Structure 1
Amino acid sequence: MDAATFTPHFDIPEQYAPDAVHPVRVRSRPMGVATVFGFHQHPWAQVAYTSEGVMRIEVDDTTWIVPPSRAIWIPAYVVHNAQVIEPAYLRTLYVDVSVIPPNLSECRVIEVSPLLRELIVALDVDDDTLSASREQSIVQLILDEIVRSESLPLGVPLPADKRLRALCEAIIANPKAGDSLEQLALDVGASVRTISRLFRNELGSSFSEWRQQAVLAHAIPLLSQGQSLSQVASELGYTSQSAFTAMFRRAFGKSPREFFKETA
């Protein structure tokens, strides 16, 4: 989706729009399940942070899952869609382009450190209650923490080729189906060789690597809702809880229990 076809979307109350005087603003509100914002863009960057609940963020070529106590960085003018897939308490930081740090030109899901969490809360007050110097210090620390935050592999890239796109969307819709690559390729009218080549050329990964990302995108909301590891493993087509946990640990460097313990 081409950002040039969109008009900047000023859908927020004026007091939340960042500027040179207040370069980072915070807006907090509960969001009900199935809330959909629709594709839009802003002339500022933003950080969508869910202290509770799960969100899905989409751009043209990737979909991201944002679990509790994680956040997604969205650069200015990136056309995106947001959907609440589990009731969430959303804090959105709007960041003026004048203070955006370098190397933040792409969307990414990040860890929210305890310090970053408290800094967001500290800035989430009426401007009149903060001195200019204190606000400046908090803003600088927030930006430093965003730059330092670990990026999480929670994006599922989507291709442009229509055949591969149809195959990928079928897996996202039903990751448990367990169809072989041969059957999936047949369903979209392509050979296995062609599909394998498209995965490498368009998505930079193998079919199995991409499928693992799609499985993780489904696993995160289920685990955040409190479903047991055995339930989630079974729902996503794994033969055992240990096999699912091993896959999760390879992706995140920690077990599901360790990952979600950090949200407590």
Structure 2
Amino acid sequence: MPPATHAPILSPGGFTPTDERPLRAKSRQLEHRADIQPHRHDWAQLVFSVSGAVRVNTEASTYIVPPQRAVWIPQGLVHAVTAIEHCDLRTVYLHGSLLTGATWQTGRVLEVSPLLRELLLALPTLPDPEPAPAAAEERRRRSIEQLVILELQRARPLALGVALPADARLRRLCEAMLREPGRHAGLEDWALEAGYSPRTLSRLFREQLSTSFAQWRSQLLLAHALTLAARGRPMSVIASELGYASASAFTAMVTRTVGMPPSRFFESA
């Protein structure tokens, strides 16, 4: 991920927010493992997954987004997007005047309520039409946009972000774990792959990320588990794909990490 001063500023052409049209929406299909390279915008952005899961990377964190969730990306934040599977995305670009305050200056995952989902799907996703729309259509569009802002202000943030280190070598290891979380089960195997001693790797996680390897990996596995649960995968399949020998072992990890069994956690999250 390049620093903010080197990442290109991208303009989505006919979808750029303006004073007259401060909120613009774009529909986009991403194939499995498709990448949108690191970039930034002069406006805020909401990435909403209608179907399929995406991963949004910033310099400090990665956000794994299952369907019916959205990532808030503040103005100027360098980010990249990777499709974990085929995705139907809605990207909403927002003028800086629409949502202000400290809470909107950091990236995070937001819950998308049923009402917000329908409003996002109702937003026009084409550049300005020619000729201009009828007055009634224009009023409808403005009303939908106002409701989108109101629902975003009520949206509950979700703890689906995973911190990423500044150290380049450790970051490569974390990226490998993000791509294939179930490839190795424990600290020793991941340390061997990266050429660290287990003691050194454990120390780096505490120094770079202020957490233990086990705690960081548990947060990563929870985020991946949510994407699998959103596809209706049985608990046994989720456990197997994430490298657990049994569903009971996976259930124990979730319960230990979030204080509730997976069924309750998936429903609440």
Structures share fold, TM-score greater than 0.5: yes
For the pair 1:218 / 2:229, whether they are aligned, the reply is: no
The answer for the alignment partner of 2:243 in structure 1 is 237
The answer for the alignment partner of 2:25 in structure 1 is 26
Using the TM superposition, give the Cα deviation of residue 75 of structure 1 relative to its aligned residue in structure 2, in angstroms. 0.9
SS in structure 1 at match of 2:217 = helix
Using the TM superposition, give the Cα deviation of residue 85 of structure 1 relative to its aligned residue in structure 2, in angstroms. 2.2
The answer for the alignment partner of 1:147 in structure 2 is 153
Give the TM-score, by structure 1 length: 0.82
For the pair 1:46 / 2:45, whether they are aligned, the reply is: yes
The answer for the alignment partner of 1:114 in structure 2 is 114
Give the TM-score, by structure 2 length: 0.81
1:20-169 matched pairs, under 5 angstroms = 20-102=19-101, 103-124=103-124, 128=133, 135-169=141-175
Superposition CA RMSD, Å:
3.0
Task: Output the CA distance in 1 between the equivalents of 2:263 and 2:247.
Answer: 11
Task: Output the CA distance in 2 between the equivalents of 1:254 and 1:119.
Answer: 32
Task: Output the CA distance in 2 between the equivalents of 1:59 and 1:180.
Answer: 26
Note closer, same or farther for the CA distance 1:89–1:178 as it changes in structure 2 (3 Å cut). closer
Note closer, same or farther for the CA distance 1:260–1:27 as it changes in structure 2 (3 Å cut). farther
Note closer, same or farther for the CA distance 1:87–1:180 as it changes in structure 2 (3 Å cut). closer
Alignment-mate amino acid for residue 5 of structure 1? H
Residues 80-111 of structure 1: CA distance to partner in whole angstroms, max 9, x if unpaired? 11122222221111001122231111111111
Q: 1:200 aligns with which of 193, 196, 206?
A: 206
Task: Output the CA distance in 2 between the equivalents of 1:258 and 1:190.
Answer: 34
What is the aligned residue count?
A: 260
Using the TM superposition, give the Cα deviation of residue 55 of structure 1 relative to its aligned residue in structure 2, in angstroms. 1.2
Residues 142-171 of structure 1: CA distance to partner in whole angstroms, max 9, x if unpaired? 223223212222222111124433443343
Residues 114-154 of structure 1: CA distance to partner in whole angstroms, max 9, x if unpaired? 12112223433777355666555443432232232122222
Using the TM superposition, give the Cα deviation of residue 252 of structure 1 relative to its aligned residue in structure 2, in angstroms. 9.3
Alignment-mate amino acid for residue 133 of structure 2? D
**Preserved CA contact (<8 Å) 1:152 1:252:** no
**Preserved CA contact (<8 Å) 1:36 1:84:** yes
Using the TM superposition, give the Cα deviation of residue 186 of structure 1 relative to its aligned residue in structure 2, in angstroms. 5.5
Q: 2:177 aligns with which of 152, 171, 175?
A: 171
Alignment-mate amino acid for residue 196 of structure 1? S
Task: Output the CA distance in 1 between the equivalents of 2:21 and 2:92.
Answer: 12
SS in structure 1 at match of 2:218 = helix
Residues 201-258 of structure 1: CA distance to partner in whole angstroms, max 9, x if unpaired? 3212221110112223433343344432201202212233234245446549674587
For the pair 1:228 / 2:229, whether they are aligned, the reply is: no
Unaligned 5+ segments in structure 1 are none
Note closer, same or farther for the CA distance 1:235–1:197 as it changes in structure 2 (3 Å cut). same
Note closer, same or farther for the CA distance 1:7–1:182 as it changes in structure 2 (3 Å cut). closer
Task: Output the CA distance in 2 between the equivalents of 1:106 and 1:252.
Answer: 27
Task: Output the CA distance in 2 between the equivalents of 1:145 and 1:201.
Answer: 38
Alignment-mate amino acid for residue 205 of structure 2? F
Unaligned 5+ segments in structure 2 are none
